[in-house]
Every structure is written in structure tokens, then in C-alpha cells.
Amino acid sequence: MSYLGGAHNNGASPVSQYHPEKDLTSCLDRYGNEIRRALSVIDSHLKKTGQQYLVGDKCTYADLMFMPWHWLLLAKPHIMGEGFEQEWREKYPEAWAWNERVQAREAVAKARDARTEAVMAAHK
Amino acid sequence: MTMWGLGLHLVSAPRQPSIAIESMRSTPETPVQLYIEARWYSQSSLAPLPATSFLYLRNPSFLFPPTAYISTIVSNEIDQTSKAHQHVQHHSVGLGRRRQRDRFQAPQAIFTRRCKHHSTSPSKSPSTLTHHLLLHQGPNPWKVAIVLNELNLPYETEVKQFPELKTPAFEELNPNGRVPALEDPNTGFTLWESGAIIEYLLETYDAKNSLSYAGGKEKWQSKCWMHFQMSGQGPYFGQRAWFILVRQNVLVISWRRP
């Protein structure tokens, strides 16, 4: 996927240059559906295996790496809308339980708080 | 500057290599099967496929100018008795055929010996790692922060503003001019890309494999999920976030202000 590395890199992508039309519906739909698909992949995997975590019954770095992106769903800027948490709970319950399980770890909570703190400090 | 973390797991013994992997001969007896997708290759709207092994594909991503192409080189050396050797050798993005060809560089394989730091204990009083992250920008640096927390490693966080990243000074740390980047004075290493940093931290400071599997299929399945996170989940979420912010007109202006 290296060829997407630059393209998907939020910071420097000249996206707006190629999207002067301001109607971003197709973009938002495309990535919104991909987010749902990514969650459904995890949901199906956990359902099928009956595991607590992605690999075996031990929380690994792989589980942890998914967590910070979920913050964008569950807190500002709520990239899927504020009602998405409910949709996630209902449509992808195994993935939701997994997210809750991993987010509850002390190390994750600490990083989440640190990020919130850093953002707040920058806004002062 | 904030200090987090209290102690450090010392690496007490060299890690044992996975027996299953180490004892395997370099050429497996049974061919491995690689699956690739051919859907895009057969679209009738594409230019006729050349007879060579170069397939020029219209860029499926809208993030490039319409003239941009993705060239995929597929190996011609397909064993008729087995599809095992069919593999994609290389793919890259270019801006049209000529520039693509001009810019093309054969991938270089870089082989390094196993670093001595991976098989020895770090010093008993390790220096603090410096973890660079960018405020407001993507969540990737926080993946590293979580792993640092899990391993209870002492580290300092250095928050950067976007203009600082694309400077010669920071590009010394990360030639891509992005965060996260990590400096480890214990080994003298400077690393970038969250996945690589996390793998480094686990190999260097998690001798007990508290967050990973030492070997077997679980070790590799963990890597599958890690790469799905980095090439699937992250980009999907990141792009959605990007377009949300474009729509809200907050764009990069507020992020990039020094």
C-alpha cells in the first residue's frame, strides 16, 4: 500500500486544490463506508473466533494500535457524526465490546487524557 | 515538556528465535500461494495493455491529478505448474508514463546485521526517550504513546507545530517530515513511522513479550492486524476526518499556524 502512503497522508495532501467544488458528499460517503467496513471486518473476526482480542486472548500491540483512531469517532471531531456510537454498538457489537475492553486499559486512558490535555493547552 | 512513566523493564536475556521459522529451509518444498486482485486490470476503459509486463492503470484514487497513473509491474515469470511464483514485484505512483519511467528506481534491498542492542540489556539507568508528536494532527503518535505507557518506559513528549516538521532540523529525525518520530538515547537510534517505532520498542524493551507473541502463527497474525490498521483503518479514518475538516472549513490553516 506504499503508493497510498503519500496520498492518504492528511497533512500535506493538496486535496482542496482538486476539490474546489465544496461538495464532498462522494468523498465522505466513500470513507464513511470504508470505516463501517473496517469495523465490520473486526466484528466478524471476533464473532467467528470467539476471542477477546484480535489475536488469541491476549491484548497485543495490534489491538492497541487501533485505539487512537477510534477517539475521532467517539469524541470531537466526531467524524461519523455524534450518533455513530449508537450505530456502532448495534451493528458491530463484538467490535464495540473489544473497543471498550482495550480503551479501558490504563495505558490507553493515560494517552487519551494526555492528548486531551495537550489540545486544551494549545487552545488556551 | 511532560514526563511520564516511572520505571523500565530491563531486557534480561537474548530473545529466543522462533524455532519453527529458524529451522525452515530458505526454499520451501511446497509453493506458497499468493492472491492478488485483477479487477482493475480488466477494465475496458483502460488503455490497451502493453505486451510487456508493465500494466498502466488509471489511478483509482481521486487524490491525484487525472493524468496520474499507477504502474504495477507484475512478474512474467509465472510457473505454469503453479501460480506460486506469481507476485507483484513493485508498484509506485508517477505522474504519467514518461515521468514515471524517469522517476522509477529499482527498490533497494538493505540488509543489516542484527543490532547488538537487541540482544543485550540496555543500560541500567536508561536515558529518557524523546517522542515527537504533532498537536491536532492524526492519532498516529498516540499509538506510540500507548505502547510506551504499556511498557512503562520513561519518555518525554515534544509537541511540534506543522511548520516545524518540514524543516531540515526535523527532517534529520524523519526524512518524511512527519510525526511520530522517536529518539532513543539508549541505543542512539532515531526512528519514524509509528509501526516501525512500535516494533522497535517491543523488540528492544519487551523481552517478556507482554504485548506480542514470540513466534508461531500468532506473531504473524498480529502483524497482519497491525498492517491492516496502518494501511486500512488509519487511512480510511484519516481521509474521512480530512474531508470533514475541509467541509467545516477548519482545514489546515488553524493547524499550521506557528
Is the CB of residue A97 less than 8 Å away from at least one CB of chain B?
no
| CB nearest B225 (choices: A15, A54, A80) | A54
Average pLDDT along chain B: 63
Give the pLDDT band of residue A124 (cuts 50, 70, 90). low
Cis peptide bond prior to B168, omega within 30° of 0: no
Residues of chain B above pLDDT 70, percent: 47
Which has the higher per-residue pLDDT, A29 or B119?
A29
CATH 3.40.30.10 in chain B, residue ranges: 126-258
Which has the higher per-residue pLDDT, B44 or B115?
B44
User: Could you read off the pLDDT of A42-96 as tens digits, one per residue?
Assistant: 999 999 999 999 999 999 999 999 999 999 999 888 899 999 999 999 999 999 9
The whole-number average pLDDT for the span B185-200 is 93
Domains and CATH numbers, chain A: 22-123 (1.20.1050.10)
Torsions phi, psi for A30 (to 5 deg): -60, -50
Residues contacting residue B71 through CB under 8 Å, at least 6 positions apart? B54, B55, B56, B57, B91, B92, B94, B97, B100, B104
Task: Inspect the interface and report whether the beta carbons of B229 and A66 lie closer than 8 Å.
Answer: yes
- Beta carbons of B100 and B119 less than 8 angstroms apart: no
CA A99 to the chain's CA centroid: 10
Residue B203: all three cell numbers together:
523488540
| pLDDT computed for residue A20 by the predictor | 54
Instruction: Pick one of 1.20.140.10, 3.40.30.10, 3.30.365.10, 3.40.50.300 as the CATH number of B126-258.
Output: 3.40.30.10
- Residues of chain B with Cβ-Cβ distance to A20 below 8 Å are none
User: Could you read off the pLDDT of A48-63 as tens digits, one per residue?
Assistant: 999 999 999 999 999 9
Amino acid at B236: Y
Is the CB of residue A2 less than 8 Å away from at least one CB of chain B?
yes
User: Does the pLDDT value for residue A36 go beyond 70?
Assistant: yes
Q: What ipTM is given for this predicted complex? A: 0.84
pTM equals 0.66
